[in-house]
């Protein structure tokens, strides 16, 4: 199977993703694991957004479930949804751990111990910013069964890191992504700040890819010249792309930022996927040397769920396109690529 051909056919049909976007996310698709799996109660079932599909280990000593976040995060809290149908007390005594050791999970520090959860509800456990790449749930003892219907991992930090940025126009090589490159560019702003060309109503946007609760936005102004150009820039946060996202609610309006200074704007947990900087007026440049977006967000496999739905919608066209390229069994290839389908309904 030529994966490149396969991706290209997909991309052609979906027309919504970039190659980078899909390949990057492949890594995030296979992040959950458990000590043993009972029938079809897979480890990923705790991440599909559905409280009705659950994970289930065999009866064993010290069963565990593990989520690999793929990098270190500060974990604010972890939520666990217990099974609704029976045996709710099996969860009693489960330990939630956060740390970096993937082989010896029991060496990672404990964030909380579940005393009990009734059948069905979701309980939240505070982890106070504990840092680690792996989140695990384990039940110490002999003859135990671990079942989790949903696990939510809420992380805090700079949500803009590595996300997709865009701007209304680009001045020379002052690309949009240079505003989130961790370099304020005081020495060579052209290679580490973003800037639009001179225009009416310039804007810059970062797509956080999930809906987050944004607590604050930090903006670093340029050092080399013209700090007053940033005066009047609006910070907007929301889920709409109407008017390129510039109609979303306002968190703050920047009155001014001195040259080379980073100013923090509090957004009181405004919810949104898009963070825009919008500068209304004629003959304006919008230049940003660093933008950081702090807040709390849940880590999910939502991408995979959305991807599957798109595949289902486009499956007919996809099948024809693949057949032309000599690939006949789409379902088999999809299963090889993505694992067993999860069950979800709405788009
Ligand atoms: C995991 O690694 C990160 C980065 O190296 C570190 O900051 C954090 O303290 C580590 N976590 C634990 C539990 O050791
Ligand atoms: C994980 O724990 C094992 C056993 O305690 C230890 O030998 C190993 O060095 C640890 N690995 C990391 C990456 O900390
Ligand atoms: C920008 O704000 C600064 C500080 O308040 C002020 O001194 C300056 O006159 C403003 N410039 C413009 C063009 O609005």
Ligand approaching nearest to the C-alpha of 105: 2
Name the residue with the closest Cα to ligand 3, atom 1.
Answer: 228
Which residues have any ligand 1 atom within 6 Å of their CB?
A: 72, 99-100, 109, 131-132
Percent of the chain beyond pLDDT 90? 67
Domain end marker among 126, 157, 188 = 157
Q: Are 250 and 180 in the same domain? A: yes
Pocket test for ligand 2, best of 107, 108, 133, 134 (most atoms within 8 A of CB): 107
Q: Are 60 and 174 in the same domain? A: no
Q: Please tell me the distance between residue 221's alpha carbon and the centre of ligand 3 in angstroms.
A: 13
pLDDT given at position 224: 95
Name the residue with the closest Cα to ligand 3, atom 8.
Answer: 228
Phi-psi domain of 193 (left: phi exceeds 0; alpha: psi -120 through 50; beta: other): beta
Q: Are 346 and 221 in the same domain? A: no
Q: With cut-offs at 50, 70 and 90, classify the pLDDT of residue 296.
A: confident
Q: With cut-offs at 50, 70 and 90, classify the pLDDT of residue 12.
A: low
Let me know: does 196 contact 169? Beta carbons within 8 Å.
yes
Ligand approaching nearest to the C-alpha of 133: 1
Mean predicted confidence (pLDDT) in 121-134: 95
Q: Are 274 and 226 in the same domain? A: yes
Residue 279 belongs to what domain range? 164-299
Q: Please tell me the distance between residue 227's alpha carbon and the centre of ligand 2 in angstroms.
A: 49
Whether pLDDT at 326 is above 80: no
Q: Please tell me the distance between residue 98's alpha carbon and the centre of ligand 1 in angstroms.
A: 9
Q: Please tell me the distance between residue 65's alpha carbon and the centre of ligand 3 in angstroms.
A: 55
Q: Are 70 and 13 in the same domain? A: no
Report the C-alpha gap between 140 and 135 in whole angstroms.
Answer: 16
| pLDDT, tens only, 231-251 | 999 999 999 999 999 999 999
pLDDT given at position 209: 86
Measured at the CA of 278, the angle between CA 218 and CA 180, to 5 degrees, comes to 40
Name the residue with the closest Cα to ligand 2, atom 6.
Answer: 104
Is 308 part of a structural domain of the chain?
A: no
Buried b (16+ CB within 10 A) or exposed e, 141-163: eeebbbbbbbbbbbbbbebbeeb
Phi-psi domain of 333 (left: phi exceeds 0; alpha: psi -120 through 50; beta: other): alpha
Q: Are 23 and 65 in the same domain? A: no
Q: With cut-offs at 50, 70 and 90, classify the pLDDT of residue 27.
A: very low
Q: Are 227 and 330 in the same domain? A: no
pLDDT given at position 328: 66
Q: Please tell me the distance between residue 231's alpha carbon and the centre of ligand 3 in angstroms.
A: 6
Is 306 part of a structural domain of the chain?
A: no
Is 309 part of a structural domain of the chain?
A: no
Q: Are 227 and 108 in the same domain? A: no
Q: Please tell me the distance between residue 236's alpha carbon and the centre of ligand 1 in angstroms.
A: 33
Q: Are 44 and 23 in the same domain? A: no
The torsion angles phi and psi of 89, rounded to 5 degrees, stand at -80, -5
- Cβ neighbours for 308, distance < 8 A, ≥ 6 positions apart: 338, 341, 342, 344
Which residues have any ligand 2 atom within 6 Å of their CB?
A: 100-101, 103-104, 107
pLDDT given at position 323: 74
Q: Which residue has the higher pLDDT, 185 or 200?
A: 200
| pLDDT, tens only, 169-193 | 999 999 999 999 989 888 888 999 9
Q: Are 59 and 86 in the same domain? A: yes
Q: Please tell me the distance between residue 232's alpha carbon and the centre of ligand 3 in angstroms.
A: 9
Whether pLDDT at 13 is above 90: no
Domains contained in the chain, number: 3
Name the residue with the closest Cα to ligand 3, atom 9.
Answer: 228
Is 307 part of a structural domain of the chain?
A: no
Rg from Cα positions in the chain: 23
CATH number assigned to the domain comprising residue 169: 2.60.120.260
The per-type count for the chain, helices as H runs and strands as E runs, is: 4, 14
Q: Are 40 and 98 in the same domain? A: yes
Name the residue with the closest Cα to ligand 3, atom 12.
Answer: 228
Q: Please tell me the distance between residue 131's alpha carbon and the centre of ligand 1 in angstroms.
A: 5
Pocket test for ligand 1, best of 132, 136, 156, 157 (most atoms within 8 A of CB): 132
pLDDT given at position 346: 20
Is 305 part of a structural domain of the chain?
A: no
Domain end marker among 102, 125, 157 = 157
| pLDDT, tens only, 35-59 | 999 999 999 999 887 888 999 999 9
């Amino acid at each position: 199977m030529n994966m490149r051909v396969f991706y290209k056919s997909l991309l052609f049909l979906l027309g919504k993703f970039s190659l980078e976007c899909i390949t990057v996310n492949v890594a995030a698709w296979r992040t959950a694991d458990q000590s043993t799996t009972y029938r079809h109660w897979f480890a990923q079932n705790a991440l599909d957004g559905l409280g009705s599909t659950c994970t289930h280990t065999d009866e064993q000593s010290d069963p565990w479930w593990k989520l690999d976040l793929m990098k270190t995060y500060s974990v604010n809290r972890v939520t666990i949804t217990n099974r609704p149908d029976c045996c709710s007390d099996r969860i009693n005594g489960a330990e939630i751990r956060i740390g970096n050791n993937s082989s010896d999970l029991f060496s990672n520090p404990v964030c909380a111990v579940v005393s009990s959860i009734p059948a069905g509800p979701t309980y939240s456990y505070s982890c106070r910013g504990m840092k680690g790449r792996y989140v695990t749930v384990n039940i110490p003892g002999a003859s135990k069964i671990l079942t989790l219907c949903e696990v939510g991992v809420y992380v805090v930090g700079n949500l803009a890191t590595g996300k997709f940025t865009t701007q209304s126009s680009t001045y020379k090589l002052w690309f949009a992504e240079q505003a989130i490159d961790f370099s304020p560019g005081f020495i060579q702003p052209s290679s580490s700040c973003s800037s639009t060309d001179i225009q009416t109503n310039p804007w810059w946007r970062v797509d956080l890819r999930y809906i987050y609760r944004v607590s604050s936005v930090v903006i670093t102004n340029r050092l080399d010249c013209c700090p007053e150009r940033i005066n009047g820039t609006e910070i907007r946060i929301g889920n709409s792309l109407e008017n390129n996202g510039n109609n979303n609610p306002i968190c703050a309006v920047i009155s001014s930022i001195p040259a080379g200074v980073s100013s923090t704007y509090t957004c009181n947990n405004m919810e949104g996927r898009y963070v825009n900087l919008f500068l209304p007026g004629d003959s304006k440049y919008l230049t940003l040397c660093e933008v950081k977006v702090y807040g709390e967000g849940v880590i999910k496999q939502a991408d995979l769920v959305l991807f599957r739905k798109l595949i289902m919608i486009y499956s007919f066209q996809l099948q024809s396109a693949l057949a032309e390229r000599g690939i006949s069994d789409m379902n088999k290839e999809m299963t090889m690529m993505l694992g067993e389908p999860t069950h979800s309904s709405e788009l």
